[in-house]
């Protein structure tokens, strides 16, 4: 997904007469009312973009707060001659979201970061226990015990950050088939990791 695909070239919000550039300029002067109006006008767009990157509502909500704190502190760096206010704002949001993903990866929480909203609850539980409770080396060993299609589907989803639908498109397979492969593969991973930890 590219930033350009979610940005408007105008600072006017459809259906409302809101001039985002003016609000940003006023926010740079620490105008709290302008900042509140800016948040009201753009909050859902910023949250939507961040949620698509992080795929975790809690992390997305925290990152939105970080974005608007940065906007409040750095609004004076906005230059209308360089692009629209919305583009400036969404660029900050995207960078913050990507930084959050990298930070969580470094902490070894890949499985949770890349969970998708349409995963069935039992699968979420398995994925969390697989990724959070075991060492990466054990996970890699157990990945070798899966079928090639199961391993590829899980790697694309949980380590490649793809949604189930994206995995299905990449592997040219039906969405229900991909969900089944990943669910069955995660169960096999769990059994393998439990055997390893008790072995």
Look at residue 182 in the predicted model and tell me its pLDDT: 84
Answer whether 0.85 is exceeded by the pTM: no
Mean pLDDT across 136-159: 75
In angstroms, the CA 46 to CA 195 distance is: 44
Long-range contacts of 117-125, Cβ-Cβ distance < 8 Å, separation of 24 or more: 117/55, 117/57, 118/163, 118/164, 119/164, 120/179, 120/183, 122/183, 123/182, 123/183, 123/186
How confident is the model over 70-114, as pLDDT tens digits? Answer: 999 999 999 888 888 998 999 999 999 888 888 877 765 444 444
Most confident of 51-60, 85-94, 150-159: 85-94
* The two three-digit tokens of residue 44, written as one number: 């859902």
Confidence of residue 145 (pLDDT cuts 50, 70, 90): confident
SS3 readout for the chain: CCHHHHCCCCCECCCCCCEHHHHHHHHHCCCHHHHHHHHHHHHHHHHHHHHHHHCCHHHHHHHHHHHHHHHHHHHHHCCHHHCCHHHHHHHHHHHHHHHHHHHHHHCCCHHHHCCCCCCCHHHHHHHHHHHHHCCHHHHHHHHCCCCHHHHHHHHHHHHCCCCHHHHHHHHCCCHHHHHHHHHHHHHHHHHHHHHHHHC
What structural domains and CATH numbers belong to the chain?
1-123 (1.10.1740.10), 128-198 (1.10.10.10)
Look at residue 114 in the predicted model and tell me its pLDDT: 47
| Residues 6+ away with beta carbon under 8 Å from 165 | 175
Look at residue 111 in the predicted model and tell me its pLDDT: 46
Look at residue 16 in the predicted model and tell me its pLDDT: 47
Lowest mean pLDDT among 5-14, 35-44, 128-137, 177-186: 5-14
Mean pLDDT estimate for the chain: 76
* The two three-digit tokens of residue 8, written as one number: 């408007």
Look at residue 108 in the predicted model and tell me its pLDDT: 56
Comparing 71 with 56, the larger pLDDT belongs to 71
Mean pLDDT across 37-59: 90
Look at residue 47 in the predicted model and tell me its pLDDT: 92
């Amino acid at each position: 997904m590219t930033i350009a695909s979610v940005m408007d070239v105008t600072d006017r919000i459809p259906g409302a007469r809101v001039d985002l550039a003016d609000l940003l300029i006023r926010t740079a002067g620490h105008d709290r009312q302008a900042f509140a109006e800016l948040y009201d006008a753009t909050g859902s767009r910023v949250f939507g973009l961040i949620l698509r990157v992080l795929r975790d509502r809690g992390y997305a909500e925290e990152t939105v707060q970080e974005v608007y704190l940065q906007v409040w502190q750095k609004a004076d760096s906005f230059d209308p001659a360089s692009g629209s206010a919305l583009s400036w704002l969404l660029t900050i949001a995207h960078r913050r979201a990507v930084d959050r993903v990298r930070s969580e990866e470094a902490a070894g929480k890949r499985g949770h970061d890349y969970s998708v909203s349409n995963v069935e609850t039992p699968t979420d539980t398995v994925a969390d226990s697989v990724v959070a409770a075991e060492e990466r080396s054990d996970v890699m060993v157990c990945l070798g015990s899966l079928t090639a299609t199961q391993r590829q589907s899980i790697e694309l989803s949980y380590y490649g950050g793809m949604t189930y639908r994206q995995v299905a498109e990449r592997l040219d397979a039906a969405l229900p088939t991909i969900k089944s492969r990943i669910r069955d593969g995660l169960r096999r991973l769990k059994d393998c990791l439990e055997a390893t930890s008790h072995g």
